[in-house]
Amino acid sequence: MKNTLKKPTMFNIVLGNIILMIKEQINDNTMPSPKKIGSYTLLQRMVRPHKSSNSAIGIYQKGRKKYFIKSWTGIIKDINYYCIVSQYLTNKAFHELFVSKSNKYNIKTPKAIEYIKSKNSLSVVYEYIDGRQLDKFDSEIQAKIIVNIANNLKSFSDSLSEEEKKYFSKRNKLFYMFILLVASIILLIFSPRNFKIILNSFFNSIAALLSSKENGQSLAHRDLLPKNIMVSDKNIFILDLETMVMTLPDYDYSFLQIEPDNKKIAEIVKKKFRKYGDKAIKRMIALQYAVSLTNPFGLKKHYMQTLYMLNK
């Protein structure tokens, strides 16, 4: 699994976020999908709600086949560039390891075909999946498939050797404590009126993380929502692996329970499948998303309200 593209470091991720913040203050760098990428020709541009600036996605054609391509362009690499790199590397690792264990697990991901890189751009070409997005199905089916994926990711993680786990980025308790500190400081600066909620959330989350047992790590998508799942024939594909890491158990269930657009599905997952998530992880996610660059004001407000409810 040797690649010229290198796994982004934590320094890359932090610096990339700062660079994107500066870019968005200067101007709107919204980038349309290029009409031509190498020998691939654009068929259809795709819109990414709440996603920002200089990255683009589209459906392309080469010969008679369709492909899905994600692109970035810019002079200075920002977090969008590193997300595309991370997704490519994670996809390659997940796909190759999954194929070797494919008789056991009922989850797939579109195969990364190649990447096309120049001085100021990066494009990654993926297999095109002709299917239906999960959000087009009944809520009960959506909930069942999400639970199936989360459970299979846990089983798949347990089957990996220590060497295989190295192909995936890791997010342990120490990492999340650092993120909690940074997110809390930013929120205190920009939302001083909510200092009680922010400080309570910070100290409660730190205490919960310190007292909890590590219990190993599992692969989590960290954005496991119907919009990122495709159903084609009898196959289930998970999309957008840029956020997938080895992390704390129950991360995906915790995120689903506080995400505002899928409350009905979250309720089914909780009542029918008894998957509640973890309160400390919910607080941590809410703090992160309350300061996220790509979230509009209304969404940030939702996560502040979530913090208030979790502190009751």
CA-to-CA separations, 175 to 3, 81, 172, in angstroms, rounded: 26, 22, 5
- Share the mean pLDDT of the chain: 87
For residues 99 and 114, what is the distance between their CA atoms, to the nearest angstrom? 18
pLDDT tens column, 19-78:
877 776 666 556 678 899 999 999 999 876 544 455 789 999 999 999 999 999 888 899
Q: Looking at domain 10-128, which of 1.10.10.10, 3.40.50.1820, 3.40.50.970, 3.30.200.20 is its CATH number?
A: 3.30.200.20
pLDDT tens column, 203-244:
988 888 887 766 678 999 999 999 999 999 888 999 999 889
Mean pLDDT of 296-304: 82
Q: Is 146 left (phi over 0), alpha (psi -120 to 50) or beta?
A: alpha
Q: Of 44, 90, 85, give the one whose Cα is nearest residue 67.
A: 44
CATH number of 133-310: 3.90.1200.10
At residue 1 the predicted structure's pLDDT band, cuts being 50, 70 and 90, is very low
Tell me, what's the pLDDT at 183? 85
pLDDT tens column, 70-120:
999 888 899 889 999 999 999 998 888 876 676 567 788 999 999 999 989
Please say whether the beta carbons of 307 and 287 come within 8 A. yes
With tokens 């190498």, the residue in question is: 38
Q: Taking the alpha carbons of 150, 293, 87, 280 in that order, is the dihedral positive or negative? A: negative
**What percent of the chain is modeled with pLDDT above 70?**
90
Q: Where are the domains of the chain?
A: 10-128, 133-310
